[in-house]
Structure 1
Amino acid sequence: MNARRLAAEFLGTGFLLIGVVGSGIMAQSLSGGNIALALLANAIATGCMLYAIITTLGPLSGAHFNPAVTLAFALRGEHDWREVPGYVLVQIAGGILGVWACHIMFDLPLLQSSQTMHRTSLAQWFSEIVATFGLLFVIFGGLRSKPDTVPALVGLYITGAYWFTSSTSFANPAVTIARGFSDTFAGIYPGHILGFIAMQLIGVVLGHFVLRWLFAKEA
């Protein structure tokens, strides 16, 4: 297994969580209690981080930073199944360390467990199916039509999906797990993590069958 690819996935997922959690902490502290303004700042910062890390690390590892994306590529036969466990492990580890880096930067307790209790309902679970399917839609659609636009497409999609999904579009099992370790604006109660991940995996399965047909190359 290529160590540089694993390092790229580790660092990229770490920086992704720094973007998600760090901007959430900053937004909450500066927004004066205006949740809409805080979410807007959080969404923009996350989209910008995604564009940066996908552009810089894509040539090294494919810039998955997301077990759902890794699984989707493996199902399409475009990623070696033998590398899937390694990718997933470093994505999760990188995400957790990214959260801890945020806690250090903002002088918060390093070890936390989120108490954010509102992230569970049929609406939010369904939102995670839609969010994950949509993420794969822009990735594989972009690769089919204009590969060099994928970093921008993903960044823009996630920025928008923060707003048009009731779950604020986690769409990433590694991000979901890591956010359980932060009792801040972006946190998710650990007891709700498995429900989110299950819905994300459903989104992957739906995306595999629908998008493989939709974006199939003409004979």
Structure 2
Amino acid sequence: MNTARAYVAEALGTAFLLIGVVGSGIMGEALAGGNVAVALLANAIATGCILYALITVLGPVSGAHFNPAVTLAFRLRGEIGTATALIYILVQICGGVIGVWLTHVMFELDLFQLSTKARTGPAQYLSELIATFGLLFVIFGGLKARAEAVPALVALYITGAYWFTSSTSFANPAVTIARSFTDTFAGINPAHMPMFIVMQIVAAIVGTAVLNWLFAKADD
């Protein structure tokens, strides 16, 4: 793996992911006429589409993590080194924030914002634990069963999880941080961000242990 290309791929991919998430939220809300269900549907479909494209194109370059929780899980599995993992996480966060800012420019909004959208409470925190565990379940299960299907599996899972989780499935610390910088449909109040991230990290640690056992080689 060419590390320089991998780092650029992770930054670029996470930036485009946030452009997809935030941009479709802005567009969906603007066109839905106050119908939140329609706006969320547009948001979910666009996010799934961009994920499929990004993972397919950038998977061979960096592994297409775009997510510190996924990077942590691969580090715990011993498939990526500590230094590389830390740089991945740094560029994912930076790329995500830059993606949010570029989206604001596209839609002629104030560049620098902080979200006022409340996303808090035990139900939503549990939701993030489940959403992140489920994402890792799909990734590691997909790699075990049919690696070439992982882009579609992740895209379908996230599209569905927007609807079957109460938090609308952030499942990604970099996305969570970046979305705190937009006071639009996809935003999250910065005060509510830390517990989302804690639950995502817990899910990555617990999920890696459970899923390594579940998807172990037949002779293990």
Residue 58 (structure 1) aligns with? 59
1:143 — aligned with what?
143
The alpha carbon displacement at 1:159 in A equals: 0.2
Q: Are 2:167 and 1:167 aligned?
A: yes
Alignment of 1:159-198 (within 5 A): 159-198=159-198
Paired residue type of 1:25: I
| CA–CA separation in structure 1 for the residues paired with 2:60 and 2:205 | 26
Matched to 1:210, the amino acid is V
Aligned to 1:101: 102
Residue number in structure 1 paired with 2:12: 11
How far has the Cα of 1:105 moved from its partner? 0.4
Q: Which residue pairs with 1:47 in the alignment?
A: 48
Counterpart in the other structure of 2:39: 38
Structure 1: gaps of 5 or more residues: none
Per-residue deviation, 1:18: 0.3
How far apart are residue 82 of structure 1 and its match? 1.7
Tell me the CA shift for residue 81 of structure 1: 1.4
- Give the C-alpha shift of residue 43 in structure 1: 0.2
Q: Could you state the TM-score of these two structures normalised by the residue count of structure 2?
A: 0.98
Provide the residue aligned with 2:210 in structure 1. Answer: 210
Question: Distance between the aligned counterparts of 2:46 and 2:217, measured in 1?
Answer: 35
CA-to-aligned-CA distance 1:56-87 (integer Å, 9 cap, x gap): 00000000000000000000111111211100
In 2, Cα distance between the equivalents of 1:66 and 1:133? 13
* 1:66-105 equivalence runs, <5 A: 66-105=67-106
SS at match of 2:170: coil
Number of residue pairs matched?
A: 218
Runs of 4+ in 1 over 2 A off after TM superposition: none
User: How far apart, in 1, do the equivalents of 2:75 and 2:13 lie?
Assistant: 19
Stretch of structure 1 that moved more, 31-40 or 81-90: 81-90
Q: Return the alpha-carbon distance in structure 2 between the equivalents of residues 207 and 74 of structure 1.
A: 13
Give the structure-1-normalised TM-score.
Answer: 0.99
Letter in 2 for 1:6: Y
SS at match of 2:110: coil
> Matches of 2:153 and 2:69 in 1, distance apart?
17
SS in 1 for 2:23: helix
CA distance in 1 between partners of 2:99 and 2:208 (Å): 29
